[in-house]
Every structure is written in C-alpha cells, then in structure tokens.
C-alpha cells in the first residue's frame, strides 16, 4: 500500500491506499475550530497543530508499516509552515523505514480525488474551486496540465470565507454561507457578476466581496435583521456561482471537453453542482465529482496521486525534496 500524508493548510491527514485502490486507513484532524475564532487560518497556529497531530496519526498506522511500499507527500502549494510539518514526517519515515518517497502537488491530489475508486480517465477539463485556488485546467491524454483560467485576486472558497467573516459567522465560511442561503427565499440582492461581458478568461472575487460588504454594513446600520444576512448570502452565492459558470461556459464552447471534473473543497457546494449539471447537459459533457467526504483536503487523494507516480517509478531522494508555497503545474505524473 501507499502511505499518503497531507498538511498543506489546516488539515493534518494520513491515508493508506492499497494498489487495488482499497482505502485501508484514512483519518483527518481538522483545525477549523482552532482557527474559527480568528476568521481564517493563522499560520503559526496551524504549524503547531500539525506538529501535535501528525505523530499521533502515524502511531495509529504502525501495524501497517511492513505493508507500505512508498510514501506520498504534499510538498506544494500551501502554507510553508504547514507543508514543512508533513514533509518532515515523510522524510523521517522514508529514511527510517527505507521507503521511496513521492512528491505530490496538492492540486494534482485534488484531481485524483475523482479517481479514488477507478483508473484515471483522460483527457479531462477540470474546475478546481478551493480556499486557495480557482482554476480551469485541461489534463490531456498524457496527463499534461494546461491552465486555461485562474483568479486574479481571491479564490471562490476564500470569498465565502470572507463573507462569513464579515457577517461574524466563523471559519470556514463555505458551508456556513451555503446553509444560510438556503434560508432565503428572496432574490432581492442582485450583485453585479464580475467581469461579465469582459473577454478575459479569468476570475475575480474582490469586487463582489466589496459589494457584499457594503450591503452587510447597511444592514447592520439598519438594525441587522438576520433575514437580511440570509438574503445577502443567497445573492452572493448566486453571483459567485454565476461568475464561475459564465467563464466556464466560454471555455467549454471553445474546447468541447468530453468530461468535466469538479474538485476542491468548494466543489461540495450544492448550488454550484446544480449549475454545473445544467452546463454539462448543454455541452453534452460527463460531470465527474469526488465523493463529498473527499472534496476538501485529505490524504486519500494524495495517496491516490502517489499510486499513479509509483506505477511510473517517479521517486525523489529525501535530501532533494523541497517545499514550495506556490505551485508549478506540469503533468499529473511529474
Ligand atoms: O480544498 P480545501 O479543503 O482547501 C484548500 O485547498 O484550499 O477547500 C477549502 C475551501 C474553504 O474556503 C471553504 O470555505 C470552501 O472550500 N468550501 C465551500 C463549501 N465547502 C467548503 N465553499 C462554498 N460552498 C461550500 N459548501
Ligand atoms: Zn485543497
């Protein structure tokens, strides 16, 4: 089996996936509660919590040490101080147990969340929506990745986090804003869709966030009725999702993907999923989504990406493994 370790942001996670794709062990210790009072991830706190959590998870899989064939570790992109926690543990295990080490790009890990139970099916268009990224990618039949669109400021998930923070509702904001939106039956907040009519194939959420901030402030000044917040949340979610769909439609029209994969923590959003189903219907695309449990950061997807590289003997010397806060996407097998 392949051991996967993930610590790129605020989740410490360890998984064991055997070469037949049976998930033998998977656990994730989330730091959401600890960060929620600050309205976002505090890097120094994240680092300390990874250092406490990872050794405990590794202790739990000790009985399987003899069955592990290689260790797959997220080394980019992410928070440096978080990445270093998992990478140190992976290097120590690689040297101590004399096991090959496999570096995994976190974004490639998200793509592999689509193939936890199956072989890769390529080529594939991918919408990646997470806390750190908003991208449309194309993965060709050889696994080479091209970036077709990305965001020039905030990411989709991050904009939900910031709206929740402005409403004083905690972190992470995605699920909070989604469930608050479900309480609204009004479409009275009609925010401007970012870059609508603009030819650029890119995303931007900072202007929308600003429009939302103004309405939140007005609502607070008027006595902050809680129904206002639900309606604002619903208006924001509609606009953010429409922005995603608007640019995606343009790309799909041109590229004609056979399949569209949707990955990342924010791909759990049901309103977005419903809109994606509509666009897949329109362009006759097959929609691939990860099981809800594996949309957000997890080590199972890292182990799965590790298996693909293990089969191609793509190993790295522990002395040469470095972390990088930014990502260089090339191929899912690199
Ligand atoms: O992939 P992920 O776990 O971490 C990163 O790699 O960033 O994604 C976490 C992000 C957070 O910003 C969170 O608010 C967002 O995904 N998210 C959502 C939903 N569930 C999680 N955003 C919108 N709607 C959701 N239901
Ligand atoms: Zn992620």
Average pLDDT over residues 177-183: 97
pLDDT at 293: 95
Please give the backbone phi and psi of residue 156, each rounded to the nearest 5 degrees, phi first: -55, -55
pLDDT at 284: 96
Please determine whether the domains at 2-115+294-320 and 124-289 fall in the same fold group of CATH.
Answer: yes
297 lines ligand 1 (CB under 6 A): yes
Average pLDDT over residues 22-38: 95
Q: Decide: residue 175, CB within 10 A, 0-12 exposed, 13-18 middle, 19+ buried.
A: middle
Rounded distance from Cα 129 to ligand 1 centre (Å):
7
Rounded distance from Cα 175 to ligand 1 centre (Å):
8
125 lines ligand 1 (CB under 6 A): no
Mutate to test the pocket of ligand 1, among 160, 267, 293 (most ligand atoms within 8 A of CB): 160
**Cβ count within 10 A of residue 29:** 17
pLDDT at 226: 73
The class (CATH top level) of 2-115+294-320 is: alpha beta
Q: Considering only the C-alpha atoms of the chain, give the largest distance between any 2 of them, rounded to a whole number of Å.
A: 65
Q: Given pLDDT bands bounded at 50, 70 and 90, which one contains residue 223?
A: confident
pLDDT at 224: 73
State which ligand 1 atom lies nearest to the alpha carbon of 106: 6
Q: Could you say which ligand is closest to the alpha carbon of residue 30?
A: 1
Share of the chain above pLDDT 90, in %: 96
> E-strand spans in the chain?
2-6, 11-17, 23-30, 70-76, 101-105, 124-129, 134-139, 145-149, 259-263, 286-289
The answer to whether 99 touches 70, Cβ cutoff 8 Å, is yes
Q: Could you say which ligand is closest to the alpha carbon of residue 179?
A: 1
161 known ligand binder? yes
List beta partners, residue 28. Answer: 13
State which ligand 1 atom lies nearest to the alpha carbon of 164: 14
Rounded distance from Cα 45 to ligand 1 centre (Å):
19
Pairing of strands 2-6, 70-76: parallel
Report whether pLDDT(333) > 80.
yes
Buried b (16+ CB within 10 A) or exposed e, 224-238: eeeebbbbbbbbbbb
Q: Which CATH superfamily does the domain covering 124-289 fall into? A: ATPase, nucleotide binding domain (3.30.420.40)
Protein residue with its CA nearest to atom 26 in ligand 1? 269
State which ligand 1 atom lies nearest to the alpha carbon of 268: 26
Mean pLDDT, all residues of the chain: 96
Q: Given pLDDT bands bounded at 50, 70 and 90, which one contains residue 271?
A: very high
Average pLDDT over residues 163-167: 96
Q: What is the pLDDT of residues 284-325, one digit of tens each?
A: 999 999 999 999 999 999 999 999 999 999 999 999 999 999
Average pLDDT over residues 77-86: 98
Report whether pLDDT(102) > 80.
yes
Q: What is the pLDDT of residues 128-149, one digit of tens each?
A: 999 999 999 999 999 999 999 9
Is 71 in a helix, a strand, or coil?
A: strand
Q: Given pLDDT bands bounded at 50, 70 and 90, which one contains residue 151?
A: very high
pLDDT at 39: 84
103 known ligand binder? no
Average pLDDT over residues 218-240: 92
Average pLDDT over residues 157-185: 96
Calculated CA dihedral for residues 6, 8, 11, 13, nearest 10 degrees: 10
Report whether pLDDT(107) > 80.
yes
129 known ligand binder? yes
Domain positions in the chain are 2-115+294-320, 124-289
The answer to whether 307 touches 20, Cβ cutoff 8 Å, is no
Rounded distance from Cα 91 to ligand 2 centre (Å):
22
Q: Could you say which ligand is closest to the alpha carbon of residue 161?
A: 1
Share of the chain above pLDDT 70, in %: 100
pLDDT at 124: 97
194 lines ligand 1 (CB under 6 A): no
Higher-scoring residue by pLDDT: 257, 224:
257
Q: What whole-number distance in Å separates Cα of residue 82 and Cα of residue 78?
A: 7
Q: What whole-number distance in Å separates Cα of residue 245 and Cα of residue 166?
A: 25
């Amino acid at each position: 089996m392949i051991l996967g370790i993930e610590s790129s942001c605020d989740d410490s996670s360890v998984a064991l996936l055997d070469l037949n794709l049976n998930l033998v062990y998977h656990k994730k210790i989330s730091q959401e509660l600890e960060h929620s009072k600050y309205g976002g991830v505090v890097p120094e706190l994240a680092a300390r919590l990874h250092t406490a959590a990872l050794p405990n998870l590794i202790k739990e899989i000790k009985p399987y040490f003899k069955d592990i064939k290689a260790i797959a570790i997220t080394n980019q992109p992410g928070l440096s101080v978080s990445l270093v926690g998992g990478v140190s543990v992976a290097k120590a295990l690689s040297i101590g147990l004399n096991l090959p080490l496999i570096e995994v790009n976190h974004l490639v890990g998200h793509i592999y969340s689509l193939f936890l139970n199956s072989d890769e099916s390529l080529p594939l268009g991918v919408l990646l929506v997470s806390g750190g990224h908003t991208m449309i990618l194309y993965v060709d039949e050889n696994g080479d990745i091209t970036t077709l669109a990305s965001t020039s400021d905030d990411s989709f998930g991050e904009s939900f986090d910031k709206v929740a923070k402005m409403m004083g509702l905690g972190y992470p904001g995605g699920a909070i804003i989604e469930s608050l939106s479900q309480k609204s039956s009004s479409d009275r907040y009609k925010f401007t869709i970012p870059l609508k009519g603009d030819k650029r194939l890119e995303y931007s959420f900072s202007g929308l966030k600003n429009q939302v901030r103004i309405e939140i402030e007005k609502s607070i000044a008027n006595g902050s009725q809680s129904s206002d917040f639900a309606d604002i949340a619903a208006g924001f979610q509609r606009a953010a999702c429409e922005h995603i769909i608007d640019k995606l439609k343009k790309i799909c029209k041109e590229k004609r993907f056979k399949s569209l994969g949707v990955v990342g923590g924010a791909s759990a959003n049901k309103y977005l999923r419903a809109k994606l189903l509509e666009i897949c219907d329109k362009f006759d695309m097959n929609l691939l989504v990860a099981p809800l449990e594996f949309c957000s950061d997890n080590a199972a997807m890292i182990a799965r990406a590790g298996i693909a590289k293990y089969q191609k003997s793509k190993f790295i010397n522990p002395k040469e493994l470095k972390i990088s806060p930014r990502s260089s996407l090339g191929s899912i097998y690199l």
